Amino acid sequence: MKKTILCLALLGAMGAAQSVMAQSFDDRWYLDGSLGWNFQDKARSDNNALFGTFGVGKYVNSDWSFELNFDYQDPQETNPSLGNHWVQYGVGIDALYHFHVEGANWNPYMRMGVGWQREKEDFINPNLLGSFTRNDNSATVDVGFGLERQWGRYGVRTEFGARYDDDNNSVNAPNANHFVDLLASVGMTVALGNPPVKAVEPAPPPPPVAAATCADKDSDGDGVNDCNDKCPNTPSGQTVGPDGCPVPVTIDLRGVNFDFDKSKLRPDAVEILGQAVEVLKKYPELKVEVAGHTDSVGTDAYNQKLSERRAKAVYDYLVSNGVDAGRLIGPHGYGETRPIAPNTNPDGSDNPEGRAKNRRTELNVQN
């Protein structure tokens, strides 16, 4: 009874184990063998004995393997006068579930199987005054739990299990209708053949190289691709906008400022305008817009007219000093709409210096 309870506890412990991680699948056939100690069922009245197994197995996936094993044990009787020398050998097929634990050197496994056992039991018949041998067959069921470790093709195991022997014809144990033997063993496995070649996924082909389009080209080297370039033949060095066309370059005629509410050129402005005339004569291809501006004092309408008069004063000076009027665009006035400095301080007070800067004219290069 105690052995039966022990077997049930063993089964419960094995059922509680769980697989943590599957390893790669090695489908080679392997040989296995073990040596161990057979703790005989006490009803046999035999001593515990050494036993051995030998078999062949194969993994069918990363977790399960199956084995065909042969076993042999020859226990000696505890009381020779009874003549119960009992030789056992047989064959069984087992399913093994392997629990692969990530990072562990030793991994647990569980064994379950059925088999056939040959019983050779010696006994003494007092009626016939002689010794006899019973030769009989019985079915077996075995379970076990163990640990295993692999080194390449070689593996080592240590295992503890139990074997249920459905032998109910014993002469020396007539009241027993079965036996439960406990088995403890160590063994090894040897894989046969070359290790499986791990499938290597081919590298994906490189993506096709897209044909060059206008988005990849900049024929005139202005930094705008040909798809977006609306002015494809811009001269080298020309400042262009996002559309590839030249953008106006503003030349602030610093010093060409006006007195408050005046459009007459001051003497200090005449010298600066003289330098601008020389530049325009040196570069006859330039076309410029003449633009006038005011500060914020006054109404919008008044400042607009005042800015136009200031632009007209510069325009007239340039033309009167030899600049072709065909190169001048305007004169245009922008009133107080384009300040370059604040007309008031952050606290709202008047900013005379800022307003003086806004009373100006500019030459905007158009090419």
The domain segmentation of the chain, as residue ranges, is 2-191, 248-365
Residue 59, Ramachandran bin (φ over 0: left; ψ between -120 and 50: alpha; else beta): beta
Q: 256 φ, ψ to 5°? A: -90, 70
Q: What does the alpha-carbon distance between residue 56 and residue 357 come to, in Å, rounded to a whole number?
A: 101
- Closest to 182 in 3D by CA, of 7, 363, 360, 327: 7
Question: pTM for the whole thing?
Answer: 0.48
Q: In Å, how far are 31, 42, 44, 74, 170 from 178, measured between CA atoms? A: 31, 12, 10, 18, 9
Residue type, 328: L
Write the CB contacts of 198 (distance below 8 Å, at least 6 apart in sequence).
Answer: 24
CATH of span 2-191: 2.40.160.20
pLDDT in tens, 37-90: 999 888 887 888 899 999 999 999 989 999 999 999 988 776 666 556 778 899
Which span out of 103-107, 205-209, 234-238 was modeled with the highest average pLDDT? 103-107
Q: What does the alpha-carbon distance between residue 112 and residue 97 come to, in Å, rounded to a whole number?
A: 9
Burial 8-35 (b: 16+ CB within 10 A, else e): eebeeebeeeeeeeeeeeeeeebebbbe
CATH of span 248-365: 3.30.1330.60
On the 0-12 / 13-18 / 19+ scale of CB atoms within 10 A, 229 is buried
* Tokens 């009167």 -> residue: 320
Question: pLDDT tier at 257 (50, 70, 90 boundaries)?
Answer: low
